[in-house]
Amino acid sequence: MKGFDRLDTVDLSTWVALAKTKTNCGRVVERIPRLAVADTAWFAVHICCKSGKFYSEGDTNCVFPLMSVIKPFTFLYLLEHMGMEKVLSWVGVKPSDAPFNSLEQLVADGGYPRNPMINSGAITLADKLLGEDADYSTRSFCEWLNQLAGSQIQLDESMLASVRLSRSPANQAIANYLAEKGYLENLDVALDTYEQICCLSGTVEDLALLGKLLALESSLISPQHQQLVNSVMLTCGLYQASAEYTDKIGLPMKSGIGGGLLAIVPTIGAIACYSPALDRIGNPVGAIAFVEVLSRSLGLCGRFSHL
């Protein structure tokens, strides 16, 4: 297998150009005003290697909200602070064939969220972040990530205002049902915290640095927790398309409607992309096309599909 340390920059540019041709197949999110102004042509990638070497290409100065890409790290944070047994009493680790904001799936499961990568699971875990209010919980969580990863993510207040202005009725319904079934301690705080952590923002470099927390061995993170988060990303990180890409790519990945995509290559490094044009499921088309061609070219496909 060809390692990241020997990536050919000409190949990288070729793969980026190919990925950008796919972006016209997608659309930016229109429900949230601040996301709706993104240009579908924007594309950026940052690859972090175990050695410390990195590669960047494209619109790398773009700052974007992580949105659902933050979900693996909420899961990791709570695993580290509360332990696996407690966290898995709040949320499961099974894939879902339903959309990421499905109330029907939650009702069918009796209120127990299917996994932490969909909204019901993420809202439940947001409710459990340490702190007495949403502001403190978000700040503490953000500081923890930045300290461990060396990233510089921060809350985008204008994005948060835009999200609050257009709050998802589906998320409200999910939160109401979670509260009814006893999975939330404080419904309003849970939704506020969830919206804040989704508006933590950074560049592709910041996202790749976060990815290294899951990709590489560290004395600061439990290997068991790393493996669990990666396994759930592999089977659930791209919503109902997860199974398709587990077969095609076989890397743990997580997407977000802000255009972010994080791919983990265990023991090797992390790939972070930004491409705001999304497919009908909510995954960034250009970013997935890039990771697919890179993983196939480097012989990564399928190597990590049985985490």
pLDDT band at 304 (very low <50, low <70, confident <90, very high): low
pLDDT digits over 105-145, tens only? 999 999 999 999 999 999 999 999 999 899 999 999 999 99
Is pLDDT above 80 for 8? yes
pLDDT (mean) for 11-36 = 93
pLDDT digits over 35-85, tens only? 999 999 999 999 999 988 999 999 999 999 999 999 999 999 999 999 999
Please tell me the number of Cα atoms within 13 Å of 164 on its side-chain side. Answer: 13
Sheet of 260-265: strands edge to edge? 54-58, 44-49, 269-274, 260-265, 253-255
Is pLDDT above 80 for 98? yes
pLDDT band at 25 (very low <50, low <70, confident <90, very high): confident
- Give the pLDDT of residue 1: 42
Is pLDDT above 80 for 302? no
Is pLDDT above 60 for 2? no
pLDDT digits over 221-261, tens only? 999 999 999 999 999 999 999 999 998 999 999 999 999 99
State the DSSP code for 27.
B
pLDDT band at 201 (very low <50, low <70, confident <90, very high): very high
Average pLDDT, the chain: 94
- Spatial CA neighbour of 259 closest among 39, 18, 102, 47: 39
Helical H segments across the chain, by residue range: 9-21, 33-36, 71-82, 84-90, 103-108, 119-126, 134-149, 157-165, 169-180, 187-198, 204-215, 223-236, 242-248, 285-297
Structure token digits, residue 122: 């993420």
Decide if 129 contacts 116 (C-beta within 8 A).
Answer: no
pLDDT (mean) for 296-303 = 78
pLDDT (mean) for 277-303 = 90
pLDDT (mean) for 178-182 = 97
pLDDT band at 24 (very low <50, low <70, confident <90, very high): confident
Strands 154-155 and 200-202, by their bridges, are antiparallel
